[in-house]
């Protein structure tokens, strides 16, 4: 069983996810810890729970999802894993930090690139990498079929969708990703988004005003 724990971090209220398996191994997805007390909180949680951090995954590389990449990388000796189409966003992230007046420690370069459709084995379970661009050029979602959840980054939200007005964003591409990658999943799959509350695929098909 994968246990999922989440924190909401930074002025941009980003959701950081920890996936924990039966061996106490832990995958960190999108560490958005910005302030000192947030950094302390995530490190302390990992230590108190006796977790072994094995991977650092980014759904995409907008600054609020990578604020803590360097901290996680340095502390646990893991390098970020991103889709290759996100490299340009990662390369520009420091400029974005300056632009939003949110300077942060530069993220290390990726240790490896994620491939569309690849299976990430995690203890007795696994996650499938879905390529879901549109909010950013190489956004990915992580789907756990056995436990019926998907970590969707900033692609799909509770009754909303990701913004597409940032560099590399494209509205039609985003809609296509949602319809062909996420809406084909069963209705009872729980969606954990990069911001805001969790939702379900079926509920978004029915009620999301942007997708009717």
Tell me the pLDDT band of 209, cut-offs 50, 70 and 90. Answer: very high
Going by pLDDT thresholds of 50, 70 and 90, the confidence category of residue 63 is: very high
Give the mean model confidence (pLDDT) for residues 153-178.
97
Residue 102 pLDDT grade (very low, low, confident, very high; cuts 50, 70, 90): very high
CATH of domain 3-207: 3.60.15.10
Domain boundaries, the chain: 3-207
At 72, the pLDDT band (50, 70, 90 cuts) reads very high
* pTM of the full structure: 0.98
The two three-digit tokens of residue 128, written as one number: 């499938």
CA distances from 62 to 16, 103, 149, 169, 195 (A): 13, 13, 23, 11, 13
| The two three-digit tokens of residue 80, written as one number | 């970020």
Mean pLDDT of the chain: 97
């Amino acid at each position: 069983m994968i246990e999922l724990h989440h924190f909401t971090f930074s002025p941009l209220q980003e959701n950081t996810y920890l996936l924990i398996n039966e061996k106490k191994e832990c995958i960190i997805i999108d560490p958005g810890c910005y302030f000192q007390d947030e950094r302390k909180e995530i490190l302390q949680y990992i230590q108190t729970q006796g977790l072994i951090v094995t991977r650092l995954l980014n759904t995409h590389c907008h600054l609020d999802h990578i604020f803590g990449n360097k901290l996680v990388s340095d502390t646990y000796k893991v390098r970020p894993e991103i889709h290759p189409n996100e490299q340009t966003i990662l390369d520009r992230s420091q400029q974005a930090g300056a632009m939003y007046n949110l300077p942060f420690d530069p993220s290390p370069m990726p240790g490896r690139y994620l491939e569309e459709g690849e299976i990430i084995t995690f203890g007795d379970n696994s996650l499938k990498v879905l390529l879901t661009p549109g909010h950013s050029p190489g956004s990915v979602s992580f789907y756990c079929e056995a436990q019926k959840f998907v970590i969707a980054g900033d692609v799909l939200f509770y009754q909303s969708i990701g913004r597409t007005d940032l560099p590399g964003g494209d509205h039609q591409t985003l809609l296509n990703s949602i319809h062909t990658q996420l809406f084909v999943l069963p209705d009872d799959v729980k969606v954990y988004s990069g911001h805001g509350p969790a939702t379900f695929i079926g509920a978004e098909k029915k009620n999301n005003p942007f997708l009717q």
